[in-house]
Every structure is written in structure tokens, then in C-alpha cells.
Amino acid sequence: MRASGKRKRALTAGPFSLARDQVRKSAGKAHGSMAVLGKTRRDKMAKAKTTVFFCKECGYESAKWVGQCPACREWNTMVEEPAAPRNSSAASAVRHQSSLMKSKPARLSEISVEEKDRVTTGYQELDRVLGGGVVAGSLVLVGGDPGIGKSTLLLQVCRNLSAVGQKVLYISGEESLKQIKLRANRIGQVTGDLRFLCETSLDNIQETISQEKPDIVIIDSIQTMYREEISSAPGSVSQVRESTNLLMQIAKGEGITIFIVGHVTKEGVVAGPRVLEHMVDTVLYFEGDRHASYRILRGVKNRFGSTNEIGVFEMREQGLVEVENPSEFMLDGRPEGASGAVVACAMEGTRPILLEVQALVTQSNLGIPRRTAAGTDYNRVNLLMAVLEKRCHYEMSRYDAYVNIAGGMKMNEPALDLAIIMALVSSLKDRPVDEKTIVFGEVGLSGEVRSVSMAEQRVNEAVKLGFEACVLPRISLDKMKKNGKIRLIGVSNVREAIGIF
């Protein structure tokens, strides 16, 4: 009985605590005879330390545990992991490589940039986010929640790239070849040189890549990959960091484009791709509501183009389909003549997107009224309600208010302020806003309507979708060229805007 209990404890203790115990024991033994220790002995002791602490957010390494990471200032992000062997780490490979290619300084005029270095992925939405296609020898991280569609997107990209003559190698550490085949059957026919490999050892992968010499490699996902020389588990900070290091060398050294898939968990527990973001050239996030069918691909970092761009896709039965006109998609199925619904225009990078802001204002039975905001900032909604109360003398504190951006879209742009205010008042008075009108503008604390960027693009998008009127900040209107296709109504404060309907 006792023995089995002991074994159980030993089993649950895990390899980390075992290593820690050993360190402690050796430290304890040494303690008594510290005075007689020579310098070399003490050095050996320092080397015997087998675990270090890593920050899950930024990858900072520390010899001891600290509550707050000294580098990124995040709290409770340090995790204990076995130390990486110094001599065999990726650093030595980098040193080796840099000694091989002793580079000389060059003038800008001597550097040639060839357009053919960019390859189109077959999806305009993705090309735009990448800055005009895939750059040869770049390292692209595609992050996102599990199940959002990263593998599907990359498989479709592989299909397109292999169809135009690229040699593609898709390496999966998560799914079996059978599962990949089933997925591939759903997305349609695959032609060209597209090969699959189920492997998690990066050392084997490196060998395969040097034999096969593909143009494009997909690593799905980085959390399942490991390097043999590092003793910590796959997905830990040091594994993820060293694995990416190796992939970076392969990408830069051989001019191969590598897409890395990285899962993000809610708590960022398993070494979040945050650690990777510093190392790769491009970071894309694939996001969306699991219950809604659309997905947004957002550029967060891009060494080869703008980061403000987004691409919109829809998840269908046969895989992902590009959404060329997101506004139409977002406004689909809009209720007619309903109070509390206003169409607003938000910008995603250089792209205007029309969306519906909904508000429901009802009498409150509670001391503190209930307020919720789905898809937009809760505090912003509270602030706008305070502006209505103070500047327009509506007794908002007597009402519960629920604000929602229809379609599961998340938008925090201040240009939505005026639409939120109009939706709230419309619901409060139970009077619908004209459905052929769009509204945008930032609202300040004194109830003034402030100008927003790219007003012209927003108006043009409204024209494109057949809207007949647009309520916008007067300052923005004054700066704009006349547009005969739509009635433009400039307002300078909230009261004026409410007076329109």
C-alpha cells in the first residue's frame, strides 16, 4: 500500500521536480564545505544548474523565478524549464553560418530587388495582407485559436501554389496522412508537386528539406515540433524558440518560404506565439467567431509590406472562400424598419467595411442598470451613454442598454461612436433610423462630433452599396470633394445628429 503510494507520488512529480531535487541535494551537500571549495568546484556547481525560467510572453530567460518579467513587465509569466545546452544550440549554427558568408557592406543602389521574388498565393485576400504575395525565403507565422481554420487555409494555399509550379512540402505534426487526405478531398482537386509528411522531429525535417529542396514548406504546428538536443517538452518556450531559430536558418540559408502555424490558447499557456513574433518576418492572425462563418486574416507584423491590411474569408463546406465584398456580407439579413439598428462604416487598414450597430435600451429594474457591449469596447459604450445623459439630457441611468455589432465582428474604432449614439437613441425612442443612411464620426466628451480619417473612402463604400444618405462629421465634410451620388449631412455635435431623424 505504502509502496504504491510512493510510486504514485514519484510518477506525478514529473521530470522537472526530479531535476530540481537533484540540484537542491547537491547544493545542500556542498553547503557545509563551502569554505574549502575551490574556484573550479564552484564553477562546476553553477554549471550543474539544470533548469532556468522563461517568460511565456517574450521568451526572456532568468536564472531564478520572478513574479514580473523584467523585459516585458508581464506578471506571472515565468515558467520553469530544463536549460538548453549552450554549445549545441542554434546560436552555434548561426555563428557557423555567418562565418561562412562573410558579408560586406553594400550601398542601396547595389542591392537589386526583383519582382519575381514574390509569388501569388492564388488568393487576393491573402496576397494583400502579405504585401503583394509570398516573398521567397521569408518566414511567416500564422497564429490563431485552435479550430479556426489555419490548416485549411494553408492547405488551400499549398494547392494553389503547387498548381502554378511551386514545389510544396506540407509537414504536419498534428494530423495523420489520412486526416490530411480527408481534408484535401473536401477542398477539391490537388495538382502539381504537393507532398505531405507527418513528422515532429525538426532534425529529421531539416534533413528532408535539404534532400527534397522544396520552394514552400508548411510547419503545422510549431507547438508539436521538437529538437532532440533540448530536453523540455514540445510546445515549451525553449523548444518553440530553438525550433523557430532552426527554421529561420533554413528559410534564409536556402531561400525557402516557410509558413509556421502557431496555436494561441486563451490564457497563452503553452508558449504563446508571442515569443515567435520577434523572430519571424511576417505575423498573420487568423481570427473570427467560431459560431460565425466569416474569418479575418489580420497582418500584425510584416517586414515586406503594410500591417494594417485584412483579408476576409468565409468557412464553407468545401473549405475557405474569399469574401471580396465584406460590407455586403456583413449587412446580409439586416432587419427592415427596426429601431436601434444603424449602419456604420469602420476602416480595417485601407479597407472600409460597413457594419450594423445594434442597440437595445429597456427600462431597468435594478439599482445599477445593466450594460453590455458585444463586439465593441464596453467602456466606450458607458462613456457614450454618459455623454447622452449630460449633453442631451436623456435619463440613460434609468435604462439597461445592450450594444452589439451584428455578425460577430469586433470593432473598436472611434468612428463608430456616432453610430452607437444614434442606435441607442433610436432604441430609446423606438424610432427607426432610415435604413438607407450610414453614420460615422467620433464623439468627444462635450458631445462634439470630431473628424475621422479616410472619410472619402467610407462615403464611396456607402455609394457602392446603394446607400442614399450619410451622416458624417462636418469637419470631414468640409475637407471632402462634392459627391453627387449620395446626400451628405455634416453634423458638428450629437444633438444635431439626433435631430436629423
Residues that bind Mg ion (CB under 5 A): 151
| Residue 356: alpha-carbon gap to chain centroid | 24
224 or 231: CB nearest Mg ion: 224
247: left (phi over 0), alpha (psi -120 to 50) or beta: alpha
Question: Residue 317, interface with ligand TYD (CB under 6 A)?
Answer: yes
DSSP sequence for 101-113 = T------GGG---
Q: How far is the CB of 152 from ligand TYD (least distance, A)?
A: 3
Question: Which residues are 442's β-sheet partners?
Answer: 450
The residues pairing with 299 across neighbouring beta strands, listed in sequence order, are: 284
Given the complex with Mg ion, which of 222 and 472 has the nearer CB atom? 222
Which SS3 state, helix, strand or coil, does residue 446 take?
coil
Cα of 137 vs its chain's centroid, Å: 22
Q: Which helix (H) or strand (E) holds 78?
A: strand 78-82
Q: How far is the CB of 145 from ligand TYD (least distance, A)?
A: 7
**Which residue from 77, 89, 138, 151 is in contact with ligand TYD, where contact means CB under 6 A?**
151
Q: How many helices (H) and strands (E) does the chain have?
A: 15, 23
Q: Are 439 and 471 in contact (CB under 8 A)?
A: yes
Does residue number 95 form part of the binding site for ligand TYD (CB under 6 A)? no
**Chain Cα centroid distance, residue 30:** 49
Distance of CA 41 to the CA centre of its chain: 48
Q: How far is the CB of 325 from ligand TYD (least distance, A)?
A: 21
Q: Which is nearer to Mg ion, 92 or 179 (CB)?
A: 179
- Closest approach of Cβ 475 to Mg ion, in Å? 47
Per CB under 6 A, 426 contacts ligand TYD: no
User: Applying CB under 6 A, which part among 227-235, 244-252, 310-318, 475-483 lies near ligand TYD?
Assistant: 310-318
* Number of residues forming the site for ligand TYD (CB under 6 A): 15
Question: Contacting ligand TYD (CB under 6 A), which of 59, 319, 352, 473?
Answer: 319
Q: How far is the CB of 247 from Mg ion (least distance, A)?
A: 17
DSSP 308-371: --EEEEEEETTEEEE-S-HHHHHHTTPPSS-TTEEEEEEEETTEEEEEEEEEEEEE--SSS--E
Nearest to Mg ion of 151, 427 (CB atom): 151
Residue whose CB is less far from ligand TYD, 284 or 477: 284
CB of 163 to ligand TYD, least distance (A): 18
CB nearer to ligand TYD: pick between 150 and 298 = 150
Residue 390 touches which member of Mg ion, ligand TYD, none, C-beta under 5-8 Å by kind: none
Q: Which of residues 158-217 bind ligand TYD (CB under 6 A)?
A: 183, 186-187
Residues linked to residue 448 through DSSP beta bridges, in sequence order: 493
**Rounded CA separation 432/282 (Å):** 45
Interface contacts to ligand TYD, rule CB under 6 A: 144, 146-152, 183, 186-187, 315, 317-319
